[in-house]
Structure formats: structure tokens, C-alpha cells
Amino acid sequence: MKDSNFLKENNARQMWHPMTSPKDSIDSPPKIITGSSGVTITDIDGHTVIDGVGGLWNVNLGYSCQPIKDAMAAQLETLPYYSTFRGTTNDAVIELSYELAEFFEPDGLSRAFFTSGGSDSVETALRLARQYHKLRGESGRTKFLSLKKGYHGTHIGGASVNGNANFRTAYEPLLPGCFHIPAPYTYRNPFNETDPEMLANLCIKALEDEIAFQGANTIAAMIMEPILGAGGVIVPHKSFAPMVREICDRNGILLITDEVITAYGRTGAWSGARLWGIKPDMMATAKAITNGYFPFGAVMLGDKMIEAFENNDNAKIGHGYTYSGHPVGAAAALACLAETKRLNVIENAASRGTQMFEGFKALKEKHSIIGDVRGGQGLMTAIEMVADRTTKQPIDGASAATVQEVAYQNGAMIRVSGPNIILSPSLVLTEQDTNTILSALDTAFAAV
Ligand SMILES: Cc1ncc(COP(=O)(O)O)c(C=O)c1O
């Protein structure tokens, strides 16, 4: 490995970073992370902080999960790769499919289609939704519905159902036939409704209107995050997801839950679907499936999909990735799933999530820069920063960057996305770690 001077000099010079401009990366070079342990990360200058971001919503079990590392190393020795395209498979992925079917049995999902990550999982679900309707003789059902503020990855299909212009405009024209419903976002919404249950009803009304306008028999699927993550941790009222499920059923529309973040325990339940008591037709998962140690994902499939595809001689799946069912990813996922269950991470996610959310509320009392705090369902929490509480004018970029840097200097890596601080730490975070993050935030807000 080259020395640290070389690394600093070349930082961001030969690489374009996702979700930022190449010029920004050169003008303010990204932090170079070189080490990790437990829930902490260490940068090239030896500064160690608690990772409030949990990698990128994926390192649910922390950086020192030895059983996953061992399983991956062992798999690399015996079979580092073999494809699962027609005619071959591998032992690890057979075992993983069995375990996932058991894990997601309460969600009504018992088949898996493997991918290389979250965007792949979303794309897979969208494509299989269209194919489902074609197999059933309803080839006019091609459109997709989704929520504004939703995030569904970056492939063209996913970007088309994304509800944030930042991820769309530069890449238009996107897929035709994608329509967006207002999100149940109480702090800002077109109805000026602040009551979560009333707002859920208004968004549902908008969904029904859109279905009537488009014609139900033109719509393939509705895709939504059970809790909107990247959009700023928008937690809908508990009535919302069941109402969406009912409307989809009534209109022959498939429901895809995008659980790239919410599956495997983050919300304090094993899946977002289970949190809200619904059974989706497909669930897109990735990220924490391997604790972030290997790029991997799984789309879980329910009875309607099984019925349409498994009882039809013509249901050839013309879709798949070289790394679908990669044995090292499968071995990582198997070990990760076993550890996730052994540690029963949902309990800690729920209690630390409550601690974090209550801490945010206390910070809001103290700092007028905080416009809104969101969370209350596991370790998914956000603070929305404003320049002015009355007008809700969002904070400027420079102040937001200062908050992030001061928090880092005081012991916590936090993620700032627009006006939002989004926290998604490992689910094995301790009470003390949570306090460290809260205290770093306190100092950071005081600094602006
Ligand atoms: C809900 C959701 N869907 C899809 C994705 C895309 O996943 P990936 O970045 O692994 O492609 C993300 C990433 O954060 C996500 O949060």
C-alpha cells in the first residue's frame, strides 16, 4: 500500500465519487477511512469516531463481525465463484435460499431472486412485475406508482420511480409511465396537514385518484419504502401501508416494498412489511443482507408471483446478473443472517432508536436550527435543519457542512443530505455510543 502522503495527494483525482460533483471532491477531498472496529471507523490521520451512518445503512452488525469474515474466507477457498444461470448453481446459495424463505415466511415471501445490490433488486422487482402481468394475459399493465421523496436506487427503472428531482433531472427522459403520489411527510406536504393520520388519508386519496385517472388496468405495481429513508426518514402513520395494500389488492396492482434499508432489523422489526402488518408481493432487499461486507441483494417473492411463474411453461426469466447468487456473497449472507438472529438485533435497534429519537427531541428544545426530528421506529432517525423555524427555510449548505465537520471532530460520523442529518448506525450500538453521537451533535449545533 502506498504511503499516506501519496493517498492524500491522489484523493479524488483519479476517481469520480457517487452523489457528488467531481469538482467538489477535488475542492474538498473526502475523508480517507482506513480502519474500523466494532461500531467505529478510523481515518488516515488516526482519528477514530463512532459511525453514525453504519457504512451506508448496511453495516448493521458493526465492522468486527468475525463469523461473516470467516465464512467469506472459507468460501473463497472452496468456490470463489460460480454462476447460477441456467443449468448450474452452488451449495451456498441453495442453503441461503432455504434460510431466507424461512426468515421471510411471516411476510408471505418464500422465493428469492439474487442480485448484486439495492438498485439491482429494485430493477429486478420492476421487471418481474411487468412480466407477471404479461404471463397472466394483462399485458396492458405496464405503469408504476411510487411516492414522492422515495428513493429506489439509480438504475433507469429505479430512477424513474424515485421521488427526488436530484436523482432524476440530469438523466431524463426516464422510463415512461411512472407516476408519483405525495409522501406522508408531515413537516412539509401540499395539503398543509400536520396530523399524521389525516395526512395518511389524504395521500391515500391521492393514490386512489391517480389509479382512477391512469386506469387500474394499466398499472403493474406500486413500489414504496415502508419508512422512507434517503428522503429524510419519513415515517408514515401506521394506517398508511395497510391502506396501500388494500388499494393495490382491490385494483390488481402488485405491491413491492423496497426494503433495501428496512429489511433485516433496522426498524426494530425484521422487515418494514412486518412492522406495518402487511404482506407485499415482492420485497427488494440488499445492504444489511451481508452486513455490507459483500455487494449482494435478494428480491423475495410471494404467492402471486410463485403461482404465475412456477405454473407456466413459458415463464422464462430473461433477467439476471453475473453475480446473482455469488457463492461468497451467499456465504456472507448466511453467516450474517445467523448472527442477526442470534443477536436478536431488533431489540437493540428499537431501544437505541428510542434513545436517539428522544435525544433529538431534547436537542430540538435547545437549538433553533432544528426544524423537525423524525424517527421512533428503530435506528432510522433524522433531523431536518432550518435557517428559520417559522418560515421553515432550509439551512444553507455551508452551515450544514459545518455541523457535519464539528460532529466528526467531536466523535461522530453523521450523514448530511440536503437539510437533513440522517442517522443509521449499526444495530449493535450501545447506550454510551448513542450518547456520544448525541453529544457530538449538541456541540455541532452550538457551533452554528
Ligand atoms: C430504499 C433504497 N432502495 C434502493 C437503494 C439502492 O441500493 P444500492 O445503492 O445498493 O444500489 C437504496 C440505497 O440507499 C435505498 O435506500
Q: Between β-strands 381-388 and 393-394, what pairing exists: parallel, antiparallel or unpaired?
A: antiparallel
Q: Where are the domains of the chain?
A: 31-64+344-447, 67-343
* CATH of the structural domain 67-343, one choice from 2.60.40.10, 3.40.640.10, 3.40.50.12780, 3.30.450.20: 3.40.640.10
* CA 125 – ligand 1 centroid, Å: 13
Best residue for ligand 1 mutational test, from 17, 122, 123, 224 (most atoms within 8 Å of Cβ): 122
CA 102 to ligand 1 centroid distance, Å: 24
Residue 162 vs residues 57, 212, 382: alpha-carbon distances, Å: 18, 21, 20
d(CA 41, CA 39): 7
Residues with CB under 6 A from ligand 1: 57, 117-119, 122, 151-153, 225, 229-230, 258, 260-261, 286
DSSP secondary structure string for all residues of 251-318:
TT-EEEEE-TTTTTTTTSSSSHHHHHT---SEEEE-GGGGTTSS--EEEEEEHHHHHHHHT-TT----
pLDDT of residue 1: 80
What homologous superfamily does CATH list for 31-64+344-447? Answer: Aspartate Aminotransferase, domain 1 (3.90.1150.10)
**pLDDT score for 160:** 98
Name, in order, each residue with C-beta under 8 angstroms of 280's C-beta and a sequence gap of 6 or more: 107, 108, 109, 245, 255, 256, 257, 273, 302
Q: How far is the CA of 118 from the centre of ligand 1 (A)?
A: 4
* pLDDT in single tens digits along all 448 residues of the chain: 889 999 999 999 999 999 999 999 999 999 999 999 999 999 999 999 999 999 999 999 999 999 999 999 999 999 999 999 999 999 999 999 999 999 999 999 999 999 999 999 999 999 999 999 999 999 999 999 999 999 999 999 999 999 999 999 999 999 999 999 999 999 999 999 999 999 999 999 999 999 999 999 999 999 999 999 999 999 999 999 999 999 999 999 999 999 999 999 999 999 999 999 999 999 999 999 999 999 999 999 999 999 999 999 989 999 999 999 999 999 999 999 999 999 999 999 999 999 999 999 999 999 999 999 999 999 999 999 999 999 999 999 999 999 999 999 999 999 999 999 999 999 999 999 999 999 999 999 999 9
To the nearest 10°, report the CA torsion of 13, 16, 21, 23. 10
Query: Ligand 1 pocket test: which of 19, 287, 294, 417 has the largest number of ligand atoms within 8 Å of its C-beta?
Result: 287
Nearest CA to ligand 1 atom 8: 118
Which residue CA neighbors atom 10 of ligand 1 most closely? Answer: 118
Q: Which of 115, 261, 264 to mutate to test the pocket of ligand 1 (most atoms within 8 A of CB)?
A: 261
Distance from residue 20's CA to the centre of ligand 1 (Å): 16
Q: How many whole angstroms from 268 Cα to the centroid of ligand 1?
A: 19
Return the best residue to mutate from 60, 151, 224 for the ligand 1 pocket (most ligand atoms within 8 A of CB). 151
Cα of 152 to ligand 1 centre, how many Å? Answer: 6
Residue 374 DSSP SS3 = strand
Q: From the alpha carbon of 57, which atom of ligand 1 is closest? A: 14
Name the residue among 328, 429, 340 with its Cα closest to residue 378: 429
Q: Which residues pair with 383 in a beta bridge?
A: 373, 421
Cα(291) to centroid(ligand 1), Å = 14
Compute, in degrees rounded to 10, the torsion defined by CA atoms 146, 152, 157, 163.
Answer: 50
Q: How far is the CA of 260 from the centre of ligand 1 (A)?
A: 6
pLDDT of amino acid 150: 98
User: What's the 287 CA to ligand 1 centre distance in angstroms?
Assistant: 8
Q: Which residue's C-alpha comes closest to atom 5 of ligand 1?
A: 153
Q: Which atom of ligand 1 is nearest to the CA of 259?
A: 1
Contacts of 24 (CB under 8 A, 6+ apart): none
Among 391, 4, 338, CA closest to 187: 391
What is the residue with the minimal CA distance to atom 12 of ligand 1? 153
Whose Cα sits closest to atom 3 in ligand 1? 152
Given its phi and psi angles, is residue 92 left (phi above 0), alpha (psi -120 to 50 degrees) or beta? alpha
- CA 123 to chain centroid, in Å, comes to 14
Same fold, 31-64+344-447 and 67-343: no
Separation of 422 CA from ligand 1 center, angstroms?
Answer: 15
